[in-house]
Structure 1
Amino acid sequence: MPIDMSTWTGRTDPEDGELGLRWHQVVQPADQANEEGIMLLGFACDEGVSRNKGRTGAYQAPQAIRKTLANLAWHHQEPIYDGGDICCNDGNLELAQYRLGEDVCRALRQRHKVIVFGGGHEVAWGTFQGIGNYLLQKQQAGATEGTDAEAPPSRPAPRVGIINFDAHFDLRNPPAGQQSNMGSSGTPFHQAARFCQLQNWPFRYACLGLSRTSNTQALYDKADRLGVLYKDDTELTHQHLEQTLNELQAFIDQCDHLYLTIDLDVFPAAVAPGVSAPAARGVPFDIVEQLLEPILAAKNQAGESKILVADLAEYNPRFDIDNHTARLAARLAWTIARAIR
């Protein structure tokens, strides 16, 4: 199916030549990808939020984020491609997540970095499936190396660090009974933990910006059992910033790869009104920006960004005011893209 590039429009400044470019003049459809770059994917979905009893509207988010991003100035180096949207129109969230995972895995195999625009935070389980399957394929490829005369070298389990800026843990257990396999926007990191358990991988999860009023004690207890690094919104202040940065850096250093996911409801409602669950308090943008610095700067031994995939979740255009939240999402995507390539 051809990729709809009609959203990528905006101002042009031909008098400034190559130095006057904006995103809409540079982004290419994925079917024209002939060198490594950044792959943008959309996950148009409200089903997870609906199942989690939240207010819907995030389905329209991927196109709204593209539209705002399109007019931003181009200060990047490597090519950026648009891989189109996975759309969940029939309530079959599990199939949509599987398809997103396939697209993420394919893009990683093609040596792209990936940025995904959700959708509700159920996008995270689709994204993590893609990362997990990509790393499993790398493990299996490594296991077939070697000759008949020597055993192939054993590969240690990959250490994938999930860093989630979010007012919620999203560690809920799926419902019991016949629907136990049905997730929601509240379950993605429970599902990721289960994936890691089945593969004998360590589960490394950091959740920053929690609203204690929005997470039950059961979720805090579960996070403690799983060894989650977490910080409440009340802890993410300038006073405690140095300590948080030190703990975050230690977490990053223990990871081979990073998956960065930002739920826009981590920001105050005045900054991000267009989300499924607005935050009464939230975390100021400048604090989040400083916490992002070591994440975006993290490099592996080959000198490449540790981040494999980043996604943005829970933008809800239906409740946005004067595109405040769209501009925030686009600014975050712009910043992440510039850092990982």
Structure 2
Amino acid sequence: MPTFTDPPEWTGTSTDPNDEQFGDVVEGATLETADEYDAVLVGEPYDGAVIGRTGAADGPTAIRESLAGVKTHHFDAGPVRGVGDLGDVALPAAGGVEAVQDAVAETTAAVHATDALPVFLGGDNSLTVPNVRPLLDAGSVGVLNFDAHLDCREVPDDGPTSGTPYRQLFEAGLDAYACVGARHFETSSAYDDFVRERGAEVRVAEEVGDDPVATVDGALESLGDVDRVYVSVDVDVLDAAFAPGVSAPTPGGITTRECYRMLRVAASDDRVAGFEVVETAPSLDRDGTTVDAAARAVAHFLAGWSA
């Protein structure tokens, strides 16, 4: 039976009555009331599969706190409203990463069954598997992944990691995959070969810098005629200057402005069936830089999706 912790109380931080913020409009929701919202937030406080530095389990709470103080107004799309918060997914008390993935998939399937757009707040990248897997049972699916890495490592004998989600999803029947913002010298040739052999598109950070809109448009086009598109943002796609609070920060990444523009384009695709922001680790952050970047990624995606 899908279970959640109680959603937090959302309140705005401004004393100006004209400053409508996400904290003023996001409401606590349940699976039974989710259909009343355009989108629902789902926290996934887990980092048990991280290969490098941990801390992403604290991501959902920190992202919510930052987002609460963000104004709802987008100059092109207008104000973002119609957002509910289901709370955090209840994680099993025991078991390895694969057991956690299986348990979470029962909950995410119930969320996908509602009329609201699921917005998952991670948490580490291993939970991309249960976030996407229920979609594979209802038609063809492509993933648009904003990430410095391809995350298609071979699954170790002791279970999946935050580096294995897309190999797992391909084995489960994923139809298409495109990575935007991949960094040179961050991926092994064997993993580049793995995704390319499956028809995947890889667009590196330099291409984003040249023309972010053309890059994301090309990535979406490469997914072909899949029925549904799932959009994932691993915050390490951002340059380390913009996102120091991740498991593996490195130079050479994209800017927040490039990321947000591409997210608005991606969100406007009629096939979008889910969105996530993963690998935000507040304990590794500097002055809330990464947390704020992740929170605004959610805001920009919602603006693009609702426009």
- Which TM-score band (shorter chain)? 0.7 to 0.9
Does the alignment pair 1:126 with 2:130? yes
The question of whether the paired residues in 1 share the 8 Å contact of 2:176 and 2:223 is answered with: no
The question of whether the paired residues in 1 share the 8 Å contact of 2:55 and 2:282 is answered with: yes
The question of whether the paired residues in 2 share the 8 Å contact of 1:163 and 1:261 is answered with: yes
Structure 1 residues 294-339: Cα deviation after superposition (integer angstroms, max 9, x where no partner): 311112xxxxxx2111001111111111101111011011111233
Quote the Cα distance in structure 1 between the aligned partners of 2:17 and 2:10: 20
Aligned match of 1:261 = 232
Residues 321 and 88 of structure 1: CA distance in aligned 2, closer, same or farther (over 3 Å): farther
Residues 2 and 313 of structure 1: CA distance in aligned 2, closer, same or farther (over 3 Å): closer
Aligned match of 2:11 = 9
For structure 1, the residue ranges without an aligned partner over 5 or more in a row are: 136-157, 197-201, 300-305
Offset, 1:221:
1.1
Percent of counterpart pairs with the same letter? 26
For structure 2, the residue ranges without an aligned partner over 5 or more in a row are: 73-78
Which of 238, 241, 245 is matched with 1:274 structurally? 245
Aligned match of 1:172 = 153
Quote the Cα distance in structure 2 between the aligned partners of 1:245 and 1:63: 29
Does the alignment pair 1:80 with 2:78? no
The question of whether the paired residues in 2 share the 8 Å contact of 1:47 and 1:91 is answered with: no
Quote the Cα distance in structure 1 between the aligned partners of 2:27 and 2:245: 28
Does the alignment pair 1:332 with 2:274? no
Offset, 1:167:
0.7
Question: Which structure 2 residues correspond to residues 209-288 of structure 1 after superposition, within 5 A?
Answer: 209-238=181-210, 241=212, 244-251=215-222, 254-288=225-259
Give the TM-score normalised by structure 2. Answer: 0.88
Aligned match of 2:121 = 117
The question of whether the paired residues in 2 share the 8 Å contact of 1:171 and 1:188 is answered with: yes
Offset, 1:72:
1.7
Quote the Cα distance in structure 2 between the aligned partners of 1:14 and 1:241: 35
Structure 1 residues 230-279: Cα deviation after superposition (integer angstroms, max 9, x where no partner): 022233222x5565345224225523211000000011111011111002
Quote the Cα distance in structure 2 between the aligned partners of 1:79 and 1:125: 24
Structure 1 residues 79-115: Cα deviation after superposition (integer angstroms, max 9, x where no partner): 4233323446645322322232222221221211000
Bigger mean CA offset, 83-92 vs 40-49: 83-92
Aligned match of 2:140 = 159
**Structure number with higher helix proportion:** 1
Question: Which structure 2 residues correspond to residues 181-220 of structure 1 after superposition, within 5 A?
Answer: 182-196=159-173, 203-220=175-192
Quote the Cα distance in structure 2 between the aligned partners of 1:263 and 1:11: 27
Residues 57 and 90 of structure 1: CA distance in aligned 2, closer, same or farther (over 3 Å): farther
Q: Which has the larger radius of gyration?
A: 1
Quote the Cα distance in structure 2 between the aligned partners of 1:315 and 1:241: 23
RMSD in angstroms over aligned alpha carbons? 2.3
Residues 48 and 2 of structure 1: CA distance in aligned 2, closer, same or farther (over 3 Å): closer
